[in-house]
Structure 1
């Protein structure tokens, strides 16, 4: 008992600091209201303190304890990118599908932290792929942060590459954030090159932020430079005068017949059948061309 009191005694200093940061928001866990039910288990998970986490669980702290806005210790372990803490919590029965009032799941937090091992761990628990909130989803968070491996894992587990939220599709988010590698990965794995945010396409987003590499990739994958957004503007009209992306868009002509054929076949196959292109029995060279290899 004395050992437990000694171990828990460290919390008096930590809690005394009062101010913490959670998902880019400042809060005080001792304040009345949303964070008044913050527990040592939450803190241990967020800080990655595995030994203390195990001791707290062995002493009877509930693995499913949550704040009034639904934040569980598993949420915090995932937000901190702490694989061992998350694994331990799951072994004790933590809910991998727990959702906060903001729509955040452990999977979403794992994607924010950018840990492929952690994302894979949560996915193995049959975690819900789709968001409970219209402003965020795991694949959007991974895409806009440049976490390529996390994007690949999500798509391999059947997540929709073209899931469109109020903020657009994952490809649109990656273009806005100029995450070139994620843009490339999404396109290779079957994301719709012209689907963005309403009438605003990924090409509009890339042109607006000056993403010349993203513009180049989108054009290579068949982006339509003549699409007009809700303001009636084409992507080229959103670029700066004499900018590389404007010159690139102005120089782009019609697609070649081979490119049109590739785009047509890829669209017909769709995201979830691109991995089965070997069943087409194409010559090796054509198969590689179809997959942009």
Structure 2
């Protein structure tokens, strides 16, 4: 606690000199507090506040007054985290130009990239990927691509995959496809499938089809079946996806009427799986008519 008080004291003086009452952060018992931190009071600085609110001029003034760009709260939240959470590109760019750590990690494993995916800003994601690797140990705790998929931020997902993130990375929450199905993000589900996500890989024995059936996602069920989802798979409770649907629901009808795939579909699935998601963009190297190239890519 003494360490926290010492660090906090290092910025109190410039705040008292140049920060007006109207720009003060929220306080509780005279301590600065971050409203996004779930009631945990900490050494949240005016720099954090300016970054979160997107106040670029104020941010620059504070930096010129000597506020440390790398100053973090007791939970590891930096001003760059806040700028990314608010989706403020200019503030994030300014902080990075002044030496902010693009790989800074909070105690929950969140990086600025994770926050940028939460806010759904492709420009911020692109900026951060220029300053930090796409692969980061902290992503196992708070994964940017899982968060982007869950929130339906398609462009963020595409950028992360273009920089080498694993489309089928399975964490405690499942794969990105599983997260998108659970959240009923139809467009994101479609994009992930087109980009080569494993249609049957979800969370342990629970497949994306199980997730879509459970939440009543008829459109997701239809997409998954179109891309070869196996309705006979049983989860850890021994249940097939159809057993998780509501009686007389559209998704139950889709699952009950799903018959064997035609040979052309089976061939498409096999070729796509043989190529793998990271090589689907090379189908043009196959000696096939353009019509078949389009068929392989669902065009």
TM-score of the aligned structures, taking structure 2 as reference length? 0.90
Number of residue pairs matched by the alignment: 283
Residue correspondence of structure 1 range 133-212 to structure 2 within 5 A: 134-212=140-218
CA RMSD of aligned residues (A): 1.8
Is residue 26–residue 35 contact of structure 2 (8 Å, CA) maintained in 1? no
Cα deviation for residue 68 of structure 1 reads 1.5
Cα deviation for residue 181 of structure 1 reads 0.5
Is residue 136–residue 165 contact of structure 1 (8 Å, CA) maintained in 2? no
Is residue 169–residue 175 contact of structure 2 (8 Å, CA) maintained in 1? yes
Is residue 135–residue 167 contact of structure 1 (8 Å, CA) maintained in 2? no
Alpha-carbon spacing, 1:4–1:137, altered in 2? closer, same or farther (3 Å): closer
Taking the aligned partners of 2:232 and 2:116, their CA distance within structure 1 comes to 38
Q: Give the secondary structure class of the aligned counterpart of 1:110.
A: helix
> Which residue matches 1:26?
38
Cα deviation for residue 150 of structure 1 reads 0.7
> Which residue matches 1:268?
274
Taking the aligned partners of 2:113 and 2:121, their CA distance within structure 1 comes to 10
Residue correspondence of structure 1 range 80-119 to structure 2 within 5 A: 80-119=86-125
Q: Give the secondary structure class of the aligned counterpart of 1:52.
A: helix
> Which residue matches 1:30?
none
Taking the aligned partners of 1:191 and 1:172, their CA distance within structure 2 comes to 10
Cα deviation for residue 107 of structure 1 reads 0.3
Instruction: Structure 1: state its 5+ residue gaps.
Output: 28-33
Taking the aligned partners of 1:135 and 1:230, their CA distance within structure 2 comes to 24
Question: Which stretch of the first structure deviates more once superposed, 214-223 or 127-136?
Answer: 127-136
Taking the aligned partners of 2:248 and 2:65, their CA distance within structure 1 comes to 66
> Which residue matches 2:21?
10
Is residue 110–residue 118 contact of structure 1 (8 Å, CA) maintained in 2? yes
Taking the aligned partners of 1:135 and 1:205, their CA distance within structure 2 comes to 21
> Which residue matches 1:284?
290
The answer to whether the aligner puts 1:74 opposite 2:80 as a matched pair is yes
Instruction: Structure 2: state its 5+ residue gaps.
Output: 1-13
The answer to whether the aligner puts 1:244 opposite 2:256 as a matched pair is no
CA offsets, 1:246-284, max 9 Å, x none? 000000001111100100010011111011111113211
> Which residue matches 2:42?
36
